[in-house]
Structure 1
Amino acid sequence: MAVGNSAMSANKEHHGTRRLAHLRLCSRLPFVDRVSQMRHLVFAVGFLISLSACATGGSVPPPVKLPYPAWYIGFAAPRHMEVWVESVDVLDQRGYVFFNVHAGVAGYTRKPEGWHKGTSGGKPINNVDLPDQLLLRWQSLVEPQAYKISIRIPQWVRDEMIKPEKGFCLWAGEWKEDFRDTITLGMAPGGIVKVWLGGSCLGFKEVGRYQAKIEPLGPNQDGKGLFYRAPNPAAQAWIDQHGIPYGSW
């Protein structure tokens, strides 16, 4: 029995490695040639066709069967620790890859030190099955530094995402059946990432705390070192006075 379990584990790891390799290969598709407008158009069409085939493994994904129209991804960061999310890619539980499903600004907590517990809302991730892996790339504007991380989502999280549960909805003032359909990605200086799972009427559960790596190509992966923007005046003033509270996240 032990041998069988080891073989199954090795086989699972093998398939996981193949999926990740597929994801990395797809993310390195060539950029469009801009030599002329005609070549631009031809290469753009070819790029879109290649990207479509790559993201779907060469076939159209079957319809997603979930107990709700879409699950959500939300962003969070400690107060004054400003971030800009460059991209989130999803490898779903079927093995399909979806690029740039979310990006942009984060919601901020009430204080710079420590965390709150997730955030409701976020962006709906339509036509994508439950996540097996998330690839996050973001800019910490206050350091400044660019980070990237691949986060494996545990099976218990996917189980929770489709389990109905009654909760009190503050926004409705009543008890309702709800799902934990929101994954929150919390980002802090030093490349710290915290992940929570929750719902609009249900409390958030911590999934884990992770350490991201510095993106060697820098912000936007273009080697130019240009960040989205400088910290806003209030954030910069707080940091000038107190410093960045590394170790509190």
Structure 2
Amino acid sequence: MNRRRVLLVVGMIVSLSGCVNRLPYDAWYLGLFAPSYMEVWIETADAVDVHDRVFRRAMSGVASINTSKNLKGNPRGWPDSPGAGAGKLVLGADLPRLIYVRWQSLVEPQTYEAYIPIPEATRQAMLKSERTYCAADGKWITDYRDMVIVGLAPGGIARVWVRGACLKPFDVARVEGTVVKLGPDSGRSGGQYALPLKPSSKAYIEKYGIPYGSW
């Protein structure tokens, strides 16, 4: 093999190794939720990893939400310890650099989009293992904060945490999204939103309104 071919092969190996994922687990999870009764339809949640690879529609559909019929749910503010939300594993991705979400806030109704940068300090935290007690099975385990959780609220508010299955979440960012002028489904639905409000959500809004400013 001549010198030129050797350099070419070495260059290809270096290039490929630069995109090798450095995760100590198989994949990280992207989950989304909304405050009680503040129903959301996710048109797309895209992830961009540190190699600038784009994972489109890493999540879409209905966000996790409490719509109990007794209207006892409290949509004001965010929970101290948000759960996993509705989501999926982002298979093949390295650590996240950016999350893009476009969603329909069904209670307003309005369509928003938000670009959520993930800081380097957060990525480093996602690589750090911690010994912790897991109440779910009563065992001490080694856990990672391998879950990126996004809360979506009326007014275009997106709030982000990272957590592990048995590790407490910590706050990453709060982003104010912008209105998508084309409307739901990028204008292809003729202004029609994806889903009607559930009766309990409709009843809550009619009785108490939307608690803007609490998120």
| TM-score (ref. length: structure 1) | 0.73
Are 2:82 and 1:118 equivalent residues in the alignment? Answer: yes
Q: Which amino acid aligns with 2:160?
A: V
Candidates 21, 28, 33, aligned match of 1:64: 21
C-alpha contact 2:38 2:105 (8 A) present in aligned 1:
yes
Deviating beyond 2 angstroms after TM superposition, the runs of 4 or more aligned structure 1 residues are 61-65
Report what 2:117 is aligned to. 152
Q: Report how far residue 168 of structure 1 moved.
A: 1.7
The answer to which of 116-125 and 77-86 deviates more is 116-125
Are 2:171 and 1:206 equivalent residues in the alignment? Answer: yes
Hey, what's the Cα distance between the residues in 1 that align with 2:173 and 2:19?
Answer: 30
Please show how residues 127-166 of structure 1 align to structure 2 within 5 Å: 127-166=92-131
Q: Which amino acid aligns with 1:146?
A: T
Candidates 49, 68, 74, aligned match of 2:31: 74
Are 2:199 and 1:236 equivalent residues in the alignment? Answer: no
C-alpha contact 1:196 1:207 (8 A) present in aligned 2:
yes
Hey, what's the Cα distance between the residues in 1 that align with 2:121 and 2:19?
Answer: 24
Q: Whose relative contact order is higher, 1 or 2, with alpha carbons under 8 Å and at least 6 apart?
A: 2
Report what 2:52 is aligned to. 95
1:171 aligned counterpart, secondary structure: coil
| TM-score (ref. length: structure 2) | 0.84
Q: Report how far residue 69 of structure 1 moved.
A: 0.6
Hey, what's the Cα distance between the residues in 2 that align with 1:90 and 1:200?
Answer: 21
Q: Report how far residue 203 of structure 1 moved.
A: 0.1
Hey, what's the Cα distance between the residues in 2 that align with 1:75 and 1:62?
Answer: 27
Q: Any stretches of 5+ residues in structure 1 without a counterpart?
A: 1-58
Q: Which structure dedicates a bigger proportion of its chain to strand?
A: 2
Q: Any stretches of 5+ residues in structure 2 without a counterpart?
A: 1-15, 67-72
String of CA shifts for 1:20-44, please: whole Å, max 9, x gaps. Answer: xxxxxxxxxxxxxxxxxxxxxxxxx
2:201 aligned counterpart, secondary structure: helix
Q: Which amino acid aligns with 1:168?
A: Y
Please show how residues 38-57 of structure 1 align to structure 2 within 5 Å: none
Q: Report how far residue 173 of structure 1 moved.
A: 1.1
String of CA shifts for 1:65-119, please: whole Å, max 9, x gaps. Answer: 3111110011111100000111011111012122111111122254211111322
Report what 2:40 is aligned to. 83
Hey, what's the Cα distance between the residues in 2 that align with 1:94 and 1:140?
Answer: 31
Q: Report how far residue 63 of structure 1 moved.
A: 4.4
Hey, what's the Cα distance between the residues in 1 that align with 2:82 and 2:161?
Answer: 5
C-alpha contact 2:39 2:197 (8 A) present in aligned 1:
yes
Hey, what's the Cα distance between the residues in 2 that align with 1:168 and 1:145?
Answer: 42
The answer to which of 107-116 and 229-238 deviates more is 107-116
Hey, what's the Cα distance between the residues in 2 that align with 1:83 and 1:104?
Answer: 8
Q: Report how far residue 62 of structure 1 moved.
A: 4.5
C-alpha contact 1:63 1:127 (8 A) present in aligned 2:
no
Q: Which structure dedicates a bigger proportion of its chain to helix?
A: 1
Hey, what's the Cα distance between the residues in 2 that align with 1:171 and 1:245?
Answer: 33
C-alpha contact 1:87 1:102 (8 A) present in aligned 2:
yes
C-alpha contact 1:191 1:212 (8 A) present in aligned 2:
yes
Q: Identity of counterpart residues, as a percentage?
A: 42
